[in-house]
Amino acid sequence: MEKFTSITSRVLPLPIADVDTDMIIPANFLTSVSKAGYGENVFRRLRDQDSNFPFNLPQYEGAEILVADDNFGCGSSREHAVWALMGWGIRVVIAKSFADIFTSNSLKNGLVLATLPDEKVDGLLRSASRDEVRITVDLPTQEVRLPGDEVCSFEFDPFRKHCIVNGLDDIDYIMSHRDAIAEFRKAQDRHRYFRSGTSNH
């Protein structure tokens, strides 16, 4: 995972609630067997339908901070949605709330999700749709620094922060508990009531 500490970037506003992962990356673009190349098809259907869709507008090229509305990332569990956003260049999403599986997928790829109060998100969506708005998102201090020296803090799981700031993924951490896992499976085995799939097939 690529490390993340802090970025300052122009805001890309996406004033839509319940953005689902089918919107972020439609199913017919899910056939690649690598993680690369999804960025060019991020929001593909919406971009094809509307030349003014924010991801089509030249002024937002290079923006790394996306601001959306409520319940961002609902629907399918496809991690491809995270790869598509990050492939396009997004490193932070700010919204009123996020769907669960999307949150989990984001954290495992180092896409930083910041939940801000409704009125702050609404304010950012309004101002960034009108003018160029640049903000800073700092993960170690869990702060969003808005124009006019306004600072908003956001909650972030301390373990996840540690992983993202240091570029660590879960496997090494889980494997550091391999003895506990082996012990658990040994104890659990007496309640193993499912038969093997390989032997029967």
Partner 1 sequence: MSKNIIDKIWEAHEVVPEGEHPAVFAIDFMLIHEVTSAQAFDVLRERGLEPFDRDRLLATLDHSIPTRTNRLQIYDDAARTQVETLRKNCEQFDIPLYDFDKGQGIVHIIGPEYGITQPGMTLVCGDSHTSTHGAFGVLAFGVGTSEVSHVLTTGCILQRKPRTMKVDFVGEFQKGVYAKDAILKLISVIGVGGANGHVIEYTGPAIGKMRMDERMTICNMSIECGARAGLVSPDEETFRYMKGKRFAPTSERWDEAVEYWTSFASDPDASYDREITIDLSVLKPMVTWGTNPGQGIEIDELLPKISMLKPELQDSARKAYDYVELEEGSPILGTPIDWAFLGSCTNARIEDLRMAAEIVRGKKISEGVTFYVVPGSEAVRAQAIAEGLDVVFEEAGASFRMPGCSLCLGMNDDRVPPGKRCISTSNRNFVGRQGTGSRTHLASPATVAMSALMGKITSQEVGE
Question: Can residue 194 be called a binding residue for partner 1 (CB under 8 A)?
Answer: yes
Question: Can residue 157 be called a binding residue for partner 1 (CB under 8 A)?
Answer: yes
Question: Can residue 141 be called a binding residue for partner 1 (CB under 8 A)?
Answer: no
Phi, psi of 24 (to 5 degrees): -65, -45
Pick one of 105, 112, 114, 128: the residue that binds partner 1 (CB under 8 A). 105
The arrangement of strands across the sheet holding 112-115 comes to 112-115, 92-95, 65-67, 6-13, 134-138, 143-146, 150-153
Question: Can residue 52 be called a binding residue for partner 1 (CB under 8 A)?
Answer: no
Question: Can residue 159 be called a binding residue for partner 1 (CB under 8 A)?
Answer: yes
Beta carbon of residue 145, minimum distance to partner 1 (angstroms, whole number): 27
CB 124 within 8 A of CB 146: yes
Question: Can residue 56 be called a binding residue for partner 1 (CB under 8 A)?
Answer: no
Within 62-91, which residues bind partner 1 (CB under 8 A)? 70-71, 74-80, 82
CA–CA separation, 6 vs 132, rounded Å?
A: 20
In terms of CB distance, is 40 or 150 closer to partner 1? Answer: 40
Q: Whose CA is closest to 75, among 153, 152, 143, 22?
A: 22
CA–CA separation, 193 vs 37, rounded Å?
A: 43
Question: Can residue 138 be called a binding residue for partner 1 (CB under 8 A)?
Answer: no
Residues making contact with partner 1 (CB under 8 A): 16-18, 20, 22-23, 26-28, 30-35, 45, 70-71, 74-80, 82, 97, 99-101, 104-105, 108-109, 157-159, 169-171, 173-175, 177-178, 180-181, 184-185, 188, 191, 193-198, 200-201
